[in-house]
Amino acid sequence: MEKIVQNKTSIQPASLSEIKTEASLSKWTILKKSFRKNWDLYLLISPVIAYFIIFHYVPMYGIQIAFKDFIATKGIWDSPWVGVKHFERFFDSYYFWRLIKNTLGIGIYTLAVSFPIPIIIALMLNEVRNSKFKKFVQTVIYAPHFLSTVVVVGMLILFLKPDGLINQTITLFGGTPVDFMTEPGWFKTLYVFSDVWQTMGWSSIIYLAALTAVDHSQHEAAMIDGASRLQRIWHINIPAIMPTIVILFILNAGSVMSVGFEKVFLMQNSLNMSSSDVISTFVYRSGILEAQYSFSAAVGLFNSIINFIMLVMVNYFAKKINKTSLW
Amino acid sequence: MQNSTSDKVFSFFNYFFLAIIALLILYPLYFVVSASFSNPTYILTGEMWLWPKGFNLDAYKKVFENDDIVNGFINTLKYTTFGTLINVIMTIMAAYPLSRKDFYGRNVIMAIFVFTLFFGGGLIPTYLLIRDLGMIDTFWVMVIPNAVAVWNIIIMRTFFQTTIPLELQESAQIDGCGNIRILINIVLPLSMPVIAVMVLFYAVGHWNSYFHALIYLSDKDNFPLQLVLREILIKGEIDEMIKATSESFLKQQLSVEGLKYAVLIVSNLPMMILYPFLQRYFVKGFMIGSIKG
Instruction: For the full predicted model, state whether its pTM sits above 0.90.
Output: no
B136/chain A closest Cα distance in angstroms: 12
To 5 degrees, how large is the angle CA B54–CA B250–CA A165?
55
A310, pLDDT greater than 70? yes
B233/chain A closest Cα distance in angstroms: 5
Q: To which H or E segment does residue A280 belong?
A: helix A279-283
Q: How many CA atoms lie within 13 A of A103 on its CB side?
A: 24
The helix/strand/coil state of A326 is: coil
The CATH number that domain B58-290 falls under is: 1.10.3720.10
B143, pLDDT greater than 90? yes
Cross-chain residue pair B124–A151, CB shorter than 8 Å: no
Write down the pLDDT at residue B21: 96
For the segment A64-121, what is each residue's pLDDT rounded down to a tens digit? Answer: 999 988 888 888 888 888 989 999 999 999 889 999 999 999 999 999 999 999 999 9
Within 10 Å of residue B180's Cβ, how many Cβ atoms? Answer: 13
pLDDT > 70: percent of chain B: 90
Domain ranges across chain A: 1-26, 38-83, 87-322
A287, pLDDT greater than 70? yes
Confidence of residue A23 (pLDDT cuts 50, 70, 90): low
For the segment A159-178, what is each residue's pLDDT rounded down to a tens digit? Answer: 998 888 888 889 889 888 88
- CA-wise closest residue to B30 among B50, B48, B14, B13: B50
A326, pLDDT greater than 80? no
B22/chain A closest Cα distance in angstroms: 6
Task: Answer with the residue of higher pLDDT: A298 or B178.
Answer: A298
- Asked whether the beta carbons of A85 and A74 are under 8 A apart, the reply is no
Q: How many residues does chain A have?
A: 327
Write down the pLDDT at residue A20: 46
Beta strand segments in chain B, E: none
The CATH superfamily label for domain A87-322 reads MetI-like (1.10.3720.10)
User: Nearest by CB to A31, which of B105, B148, B287?
Assistant: B105
Contacts of B97 (CB under 8 A, 6+ apart): A38, A41, A42, A44, A45, B103, B106, B109
User: Nearest by CB to A34, which of B6, B102, B260?
Assistant: B102
CA A40 to chain centre: 35
Residue B270 has φ and ψ, to the nearest 5°, of: -55, -40
- Report the residue of chain B nearest A62, measured CA to CA: B125
Name chain A contacts of B264, Cβ cutoff 8 Å.
151, 154-155
Cross-chain residue pair B226–A60, CB shorter than 8 Å: no
Task: Answer with the residue of higher pLDDT: A230 or B85.
Answer: B85
- Report the residue of chain A nearest B50, measured CA to CA: A165
Domain ranges across chain B: 58-290
A145/chain B closest Cα distance in angstroms: 10
For the segment A126-142, what is each residue's pLDDT rounded down to a tens digit? Answer: 999 999 999 999 989 98
For the segment B14-65, what is each residue's pLDDT rounded down to a tens digit? Answer: 999 999 999 999 999 999 999 888 888 887 777 778 888 888 888 888 888 8
- Asked whether the beta carbons of A126 and A211 are under 8 A apart, the reply is yes
pLDDT > 90: percent of chain A: 47
Cross-chain residue pair A128–B90, CB shorter than 8 Å: no
- CA-wise closest residue to B279 among A232, A142, A70: A142
What interface predicted TM-score (ipTM) does this complex get?
A: 0.88
What mean pLDDT do residues A20-46 have?
79
What mean pLDDT do residues B128-147 have?
93
Write down the pLDDT at residue B252: 62
- Cα A155 to Cα A43, A87, A149, B127, B196: the distances in Å are 47, 39, 10, 30, 30
Counting beta carbons within 10 angstroms of the beta carbon of residue B203, is it exposed (0 to 12), middle (13 to 18) or buried (19 or more)? buried
